[in-house]
Structure 1
Amino acid sequence: MRLSFDSDVEEFRAEFAAFLTEHQPGEDEARERSKSSADVPEWARRWQRLLFDNGWLLPANPPEFGGRNASVLQQYVHLEELSKRRIYHSFNPQGVGIIAASLLSFGTEEQKHRWAVPILRAEITAALGMSEPGAGSDLAGLRTRAVRDGDHYVVDGQKVWTSGAHDADVLLTFVRTDPTAPKHKGISVLLIPTDTPGVTRRPFPSACEPDDLDFNEVYFEGVRVPVANLVGPENGGWTVANGSLGHERTLLWLGYADRLQDLLADFRPRTVFDRDAYAGLVMDSYALRLLGSAALARESRNQQDVPALSVLKVLGSEAVQTATEHALTAVGTDGLASPAISSPPSPLNLENFWCGWFERYLRSFAGTIAGGTSEIQRNIIAQRVLGLPRA
């Protein structure tokens, strides 16, 4: 395997690196932090708009949507350069990476310009209304219903774990429009502005962030949504869902690889890991990057390999969790207070790495849940990689 890039990719990298050197906000400007994943400070909105206007927000997009028609390898080096500097391109990641991307894939031209462009330019923020009580990873089990009434849908039901909903301007909401159809075939997707009468958002704390509220319960009571806000065909929401999560997962493994590398690099000089455990994590790190690079090469040749993303998701998220658990065990009670890395992160990084090891360990569980739980990923691997029958 040749882990190098052609000249056009390296030229793309150099151009982006020069842009970052010249334009990235400084620490003083970026001191204000987000309170949730849809609460974007004004400096971060300016930063996102600057990226959009110069084609560096989502480089795979065409220029009118904040990109430059970049290849998958160019997208990869774009993320590598952001990672090197601990920079995040948006503080509303689900809005940019999932919701706007889904609108560009499945929305009408009017929806793209009315909703996707303002999200990409940080003029509005968005949240994803997918999980429900009793239907977290099982989207097909959702019960929030939408009944057609003339040129509107009337929505009733509840969502939960809706990150940033209390700060978001719009929700991309998965609803059941045909209760008589098979579970996967009766789902539709609606854009619901959060100021619509009947929408109630209740933020609640997590064990990791008791002061910074992000999770929400969202209730819909007789909410009237224009039919024009339907994304994709009626009862075609399962396809939209798979596309939405596909946008999230394509290069998700790179984030896990970076986290694992940070964890190992920070503890190497401290020699606090058990040597066998440390060696195992180093091998996980190499395996993750090699398997990820192979998947990237296949994608660059237009060879779709969706099951490979499930393998990378399980390996990456669980390796990070294992590494964090070993670190917490090694530092003992000091992990309740000591920082999880030896130097403060860039102010442009979405995550606050300057926290105790116990908090880092708690956060590691999110990686095995968000974007499809490890259990669901193992089902995909069993059926689509190993060819095993459905349970």
Structure 2
Amino acid sequence: MQLNFDADVEEFRAEFVAFLDEHLPPEAEGGVRAKSSADIPAWAREWQRLQFDSGWLLPGNPPEFGGRDAGILQQYVHLEELSRRRIYHSYNPQGLGIIAASLLSFGTPEQKQKWAVRILRAEMTAALGMSEPGAGSDLASLRTRARLEGDEFVVNGQKVWTSGAHDADVLLTFVRTDPDVPQHKGISVLLIPTDLPGVTRRPFGAISSPTDLDFNEVFFEDVRVPAENLIGELNGGWRVANGSLGHERTLLWLSFAERLEALLRDFRPTTVLDRDRYATLVMDSTALRLLGSRALARESRGEQDVPALSVLKLMGSEAVQSATGHALAAAGADGLVHPMLTAPYCHTDLETLYASWFERYARSFGYTIAGGTSEIQRNVIAERVLGLPRR
């Protein structure tokens, strides 16, 4: 296995590094986002627009959508450099990586210009309205209804865990438009402006950070949405959903690899048991990098390997959760306080400037949910890798 890149990829990396050295605003260094994932400070909006105009926002996109038609290996080194410096190229990650990407994949030319470009240029922010109180991992069970009346959809229902909704300008919302067909065939997708009458957003905290309001409940009461805001085909939302999650998963394993490597820097074992767990962390980190590199190489050859993404997502998210749990156990009571006060267990790393070991452990449970739960990944692996029957 070749674990380095060809000259053209390294030239691409060097060009991006030079761009960062020249243009990176001082506020971008530090790796701490706003509390809400749809709250973009003024300086960050300017930074995102500069990346868009320079073709460095999403290099795999064509130039008119903030990229430069880069290949998958070039996209990888772009993300690698951002991760290495702990730089966020957007403060609205789901808007950039899921909503705008879905609009580019399934939207009309008019929708791409009206919505996607404005999200990519940080002129507006977006949130993903997918989960519901009774339909978290099981999207097919969603109950939010949209009834077509003339040239408008009338929407009623509720979403939950909608990150950043209280700050977002639009919601990419999955709704049921045909209740008389099998569940996954009656779903459509609407882009709903949050200022429409009947839209109510209620932010709430999480156990890992009760005062950091990012999650939301969103209620729709007779919300009238223009029919032109339908994304993709009527009752074709299942295809859009698979595409949306696919955008989220493509290089998701890289973020898990970076988190594991941060844990290796921070976790300081003091007992024999801690050292054994540390060794497991080293092996998990190395295995994730190698398996991810293998999947990356296949994709660069044009080979689709969706099951490999499920393996990487499952392994990476659960390895991070296990490692943070062991680090918390090693820290004991000190793991409940700010890491600056627990020097034996944690370095002053950018990843930990605002999180105790308990907060990092609590936050890790989200990694096994976002982008497809561990249970769903196991189903995919069982059926598509091992060839097991569905029942």
* Distance change >3 Å, CA 185–CA 362, structure 1 → 2: same
Q: Please give the alpha-carbon distance, in whole angstroms, between the structure 2 residues aligned to 1:139 and 1:164.
A: 20
1:271 CA displacement: 7.0
Q: Contact between 1:128 and 1:162, CA under 8 Å: does it hold in 2? A: yes
Q: Contact between 1:272 and 1:330, CA under 8 Å: does it hold in 2? A: no
1:32 CA displacement: 9.2
* Distance change >3 Å, CA 241–CA 86, structure 1 → 2: same
Residue of structure 2 equivalent to 1:342: 347
Q: Contact between 2:29 and 2:86, CA under 8 Å: does it hold in 1? A: no
Residue of structure 2 equivalent to 1:207: 207
1:30 CA displacement: 8.0
1:281 CA displacement: 1.6
Q: Please give the alpha-carbon distance, in whole angstroms, between the structure 2 residues aligned to 1:35 and 1:330.
A: 28
Q: Contact between 1:94 and 1:127, CA under 8 Å: does it hold in 2? A: yes
State the one-letter code of the partner of 1:142: L
Q: Please give the alpha-carbon distance, in whole angstroms, between the structure 2 residues aligned to 1:120 and 1:247.
A: 15
* Distance change >3 Å, CA 82–CA 273, structure 1 → 2: farther
Q: Secondary structure at the match of 2:308?
A: helix
State the one-letter code of the partner of 2:179: P
Residue of structure 1 equivalent to 2:89: 89
Q: Please give the alpha-carbon distance, in whole angstroms, between the structure 2 residues aligned to 1:382 and 1:173.
A: 30
TM-score (norm 2): 0.95
Asked if 1:184 corresponds to 2:184, the answer is: yes
Q: Contact between 2:154 and 2:222, CA under 8 Å: does it hold in 1? A: yes
Query: Within 5 Å, which residues of 2 pair with 1:311-330?
Result: 311-330=311-330
Query: Within 5 Å, which residues of 2 pair with 1:344-383?
Result: 344-345=349-350, 353-383=353-383
Q: Please give the alpha-carbon distance, in whole angstroms, between the structure 2 residues aligned to 1:371 and 1:264.
A: 24
**What is the aligned-residue identity percentage?**
76
Q: Secondary structure at the match of 1:304?
A: coil
TM-score (norm 1): 0.95
Q: Secondary structure at the match of 1:4?
A: coil
* Distance change >3 Å, CA 337–CA 244, structure 1 → 2: same
Task: In structure 2, list runs of 5 or more residues that go unmatched.
Answer: 340-344
Residue of structure 1 equivalent to 2:250: 250
Aligned length: 386
Q: Contact between 1:172 and 1:191, CA under 8 Å: does it hold in 2? A: yes
Q: Please give the alpha-carbon distance, in whole angstroms, between the structure 2 residues aligned to 1:30 and 1:56.
A: 20
Q: Contact between 1:272 and 1:327, CA under 8 Å: does it hold in 2? A: no
State the one-letter code of the partner of 2:36: S
Q: Contact between 1:272 and 1:331, CA under 8 Å: does it hold in 2? A: no
Q: Please give the alpha-carbon distance, in whole angstroms, between the structure 2 residues aligned to 1:30 and 1:361.
A: 21
C-alpha RMSD of matched pairs (Å): 1.7
State the one-letter code of the partner of 1:22: E
**Of 330-339 and 153-162, the range deviating more from structure 2:** 330-339
Q: Please give the alpha-carbon distance, in whole angstroms, between the structure 2 residues aligned to 1:210 and 1:257.
A: 27
Q: Secondary structure at the match of 2:201?
A: strand
Residue of structure 2 equivalent to 1:25: 25
Q: Secondary structure at the match of 1:188?
A: strand
1:50 CA displacement: 1.0
Residue of structure 1 equivalent to 2:342: none
Q: Secondary structure at the match of 1:274?
A: helix
Q: How far does the alpha carbon of each residue in 1:296-336 deviate from its partner, in whole angstroms, 9 at most, with x for none?
A: 00100110010110100010000001110110000100011
